[in-house]
Chain A
Amino acid sequence: MGERTLMKGNEVLGEAAVRAGCRFYFGYPITPQNELTAYMAKRMDEVGGVFLQSESELAAINMIYGASAAGARAMTSSSGPGISLMQEGISYLAGAELPCVIVNVMRGGPGLGNIAPSQGDYFQATRGGGHGDYRTIVLAPYRVQEMADLTTLAFYLADKYRTPVVVLVDAVLGQMMEPVEFKEPDLPPLPPKDWAVGYMMGRPKRLVTSLYLAPGALERHNLHLKEKYERIEREEVRWEGVCLEDAEVVLVAYGTSARVCLGAVMRGRSEGRRIGLLRPITLWPFPWKVLRKVAEKVKAILVVEMSLGQLMEDVRLAVEGRCPVRLLGRPGGGVPTVREVSEKVEEMSDEGVESL
């Protein structure tokens, strides 16, 4: 396109997917991602792709499994309760090493919760969520432009590593309108999908499965997956730092919380406070190393999340006691404000970092 248009976050996810070559979308309605489903229904008609409204999220993720096994770029989207239902399929996709993109526009939980923005599915996304020893790449955009860019990247990484990739946003980002430009991605070529089923044409049969019954076979498979995950952890960590050089207090946040924190950094800096922001873009692989380095220099870290200490667990694992880590968590539809964050930073400074 090369030009900027004003679009809603949920629709941008869809448009970026179509531009990434996704021609198969399977999904089930759930708020707050319904604009994406509707957009895909319309767009897939236009580009000759397939949009199918499944009977459930269980069915949707398994349709993805089938489409991906046949070598297609496929996407589904949902929100917390639906993503919970998809966990079975995600585990199978990871086990069978099938690429796909799963969008979670997070709402409040647990249970039916509400339809307000939340980041309560952090554990579910970054810890796997389904059964067995596996990981999924988790990309967390914080503005509409990045929703486009990371959706493009999600399809690429999914194919590159043969793994499900989760694009994790919250209802604020899904509903927000911002200018966006769909850029032509500049990514290295991918290997052919020489594992996909269909069109045998003389070659031996292929089998896509997550079943490894022979003695030792599953252990070998798991170790192979581990090797792949370690490669992802070495090569795919993405993060952004704002005013980290001289910061005494560093905020750690992603998605909508990171937008709020950006405001708090601006305000703090204008008041002469040495405050910075570290924003993980990949929630898995998590930016462990950079955070550890930051922790060695700063007086304290404040984790800001729309959940109650889920991101903070990873921050603490990274920091390993090098500095105090505090939490500002707003669950169940609460969105932190710039004032709240600023006040919390002030409070931490007033307490004196030694006592933190």
Chain B
Amino acid sequence: MKVLRAYRKPESLTDVKFRYCPGCGHGIIARLVAEVVDELGIRERTVGVAPVGCAVFVEEYFNFDMVGAAHGRVCPVATGLKRVLPDHVILGYQGDGGLAAIGLAEVVHAAARGERVTVIYVNNAVYGMTRGQMAPTTLLGQRTTTTPSGRNPRRDGFPLKVCELLAGLEGTAYMARGTVTSPRNVRTLKRYIERAIRTQMEDRGFSLVEVLSPCPSNWHMKPLEAIAWVEERMVPFYGLGEVKT
């Protein structure tokens, strides 16, 4: 009997088992990145940068060279790598705490320099690893351990839309926001990731893909509820699609 293999692990993933919480979006996103790296045939000339927080796990999962950076410092580390390895693809992988809070200056300047790197930016509206504090992306009214009565704009300010913030910079060449809530959205997201990496390979400038991603553990929801929350709360606020091409 002929066996048709419908699913195989991308070569760009190691054999280390994912340790993400059930229903977490990171697993899908990491796999998509690995698939794209495989399909572009760039695994052996890709270097990934993983920071601190749940985003750090990919340093074990990706089967290409990886560098672990400090919290929020993915972009300068990626810059250093790219300047030494200009013919390589440099892939940053950051969460919203690292990118939009502590590393915001770094991402803005990497973008303004038009640094030829690609950042996959996972926005789950909360700090995951540290157990659910308010992130710069936390929605108004959203309850977290540090906004127990909900994010109040008078006290906590407003959520940050990173794609739109960076899109105005001349150095950015590709900005898109996708999500992982349905097979269709996953396919679209994969296309964004591929375009972002191609943007780097074509030497066009800084590229970033933001992913609206569920965090059931810290949202205190079941996985399906978390997916619904992304659709019903995050997508209307942040919007989906290519912001800059």
Residues of A within 8 A of B (CB): 24, 26, 50, 52, 54-56, 58-60, 62-72, 74, 88-89, 92, 96, 197-202, 205-211
Residues of chain B contacted by A54 (CB below 8 angstroms): 76, 109
Which of B70, B79, B85 has a CB less than 8 Å from the CB of A92?
Answer: B70
Assess A198 versus B47: contact at CB under 8 Å? Given A63-B77, A66-B76, A208-B67.
yes
Which B-chain residue is minimally distant from A72 (CB atoms)? B84
B66 pairs with A67, CB closer than 8 A: no
Which A-chain residue is minimally distant from B14 (CB atoms)? A205
In the complex, 22 of the A-B residue pairs with CB atoms within 8 angstroms, ordered by the A residue number, are A24-B83, A52-B79, A58-B76, A60-B76, A62-B76, A62-B106, A64-B80, A65-B69, A65-B77, A66-B76, A66-B78, A67-B81, A70-B81, A70-B85, A199-B44, A200-B45, A200-B65, A205-B62, A206-B65, A208-B66, A209-B59, A210-B68
Which of A24, A201, A210 has a CB less than 8 Å from the CB of B44?
Answer: A201
Residues of chain A contacted by B84 (CB below 8 angstroms): 24, 50, 66-67, 70-72, 198
Which B-chain residue is minimally distant from A98 (CB atoms)? B67
Which of A50, A92, A198 has a CB less than 8 Å from the CB of B65?
Answer: A198
Assess A197 versus B47: contact at CB under 8 Å? Given A63-B80, A66-B84, A69-B81.
yes
Which of B56, B64, B67, B105 has a CB less than 8 Å from the CB of A69?
Answer: B67
Residues of chain B contacted by A210 (CB below 8 angstroms): 68
Measured in the bound complex, the distance between the Cα atoms of B44 and A205 in whole Å is 9
A62 pairs with B70, CB closer than 8 A: yes
Which of B44, B49, B60, B105 has a CB less than 8 Å from the CB of A66?
Answer: B49
B59 pairs with A67, CB closer than 8 A: no
Is B88 at the interface (CB under 8 A from chain A)? Answer: yes
Is B63 at the interface (CB under 8 A from chain A)? Answer: yes
With an 8 Å Cβ cutoff, the count of chain B residues facing the other chain is 35
Interface centre among B43, B63, B80, B88 (most CB of A within 10 A): B80
Residues of chain B contacted by A63 (CB below 8 angstroms): 76-77, 79-80, 83
B83 pairs with A67, CB closer than 8 A: yes
Assess A59 versus B76: contact at CB under 8 Å? Given A66-B84, A67-B83, A205-B14.
yes
Interface centre among B44, B65, B76, B83 (most CB of A within 10 A): B76
Residues of chain B contacted by A92 (CB below 8 angstroms): 69-70
B65 pairs with A197, CB closer than 8 A: yes
Which of A56, A67, A209 has a CB less than 8 Å from the CB of B68?
Answer: A209
Measured in the bound complex, the distance between the Cα atoms of B90 and A69 in whole Å is 13
Which of A26, A68, A197 has a CB less than 8 Å from the CB of B66?
Answer: A197
Residues of B within 8 A of A (CB): 14, 43-45, 47, 49, 56, 59-60, 62-70, 73, 75-85, 88, 105-106, 108-109
Residues of chain B contacted by A72 (CB below 8 angstroms): 84
Smallest Cβ distance from A231 to chain B, in angstroms?
25
Smallest Cβ distance from B110 to chain A, in angstroms?
9
Measured in the bound complex, the distance between the Cα atoms of B56 and A55 in whole Å is 24
Residues of chain B contacted by A26 (CB below 8 angstroms): 80
Which of A68, A199, A206, A211 has a CB less than 8 Å from the CB of B45?
Answer: A199
Smallest Cβ distance from A92 to chain B, in angstroms?
5
A58 pairs with B73, CB closer than 8 A: yes
Residues of chain A contacted by B106 (CB below 8 angstroms): 55, 58-59, 62
Smallest Cβ distance from A338 to chain B, in angstroms?
45
Which of B44, B59, B63 has a CB less than 8 Å from the CB of A202?
Answer: B44
Measured in the bound complex, the distance between the Cα atoms of B70 and A220 in whole Å is 21
A211 pairs with B59, CB closer than 8 A: yes
Residues of chain B contacted by A207 (CB below 8 angstroms): 59-60, 65-68
Measured in the bound complex, the distance between the Cα atoms of B213 and A239 in whole Å is 57
Residues of chain B contacted by A71 (CB below 8 angstroms): 84
Residues of chain A contacted by B60 (CB below 8 angstroms): 207
Smallest Cβ distance from B60 to chain A, in angstroms?
8
B59 pairs with A55, CB closer than 8 A: no
Assess A198 versus B85: contact at CB under 8 Å? Given A58-B76, A63-B80, A66-B78.
yes
Measured in the bound complex, the distance between the Cα atoms of B242 and A248 in whole Å is 77
A66 pairs with B109, CB closer than 8 A: no
A65 pairs with B65, CB closer than 8 A: no
Residues of chain B contacted by A58 (CB below 8 angstroms): 73, 76, 105-106
Smallest Cβ distance from A203 to chain B, in angstroms?
9
Smallest Cβ distance from A139 to chain B, in angstroms?
23
Assess A200 versus B43: contact at CB under 8 Å? Given A59-B76, A66-B81.
yes
Residues of chain A contacted by B77 (CB below 8 angstroms): 62-63, 65-66, 69
Measured in the bound complex, the distance between the Cα atoms of B83 and A62 in whole Å is 13
Residues of chain B contacted by A66 (CB below 8 angstroms): 49, 67, 69, 76-84
Measured in the bound complex, the distance between the Cα atoms of B234 and A99 in whole Å is 43
Residues of chain A contacted by B69 (CB below 8 angstroms): 62, 65-66, 92
Which of B64, B79, B80 has a CB less than 8 Å from the CB of A200?
Answer: B64
Smallest Cβ distance from B12 to chain A, in angstroms?
10
Smallest Cβ distance from A100 to chain B, in angstroms?
10
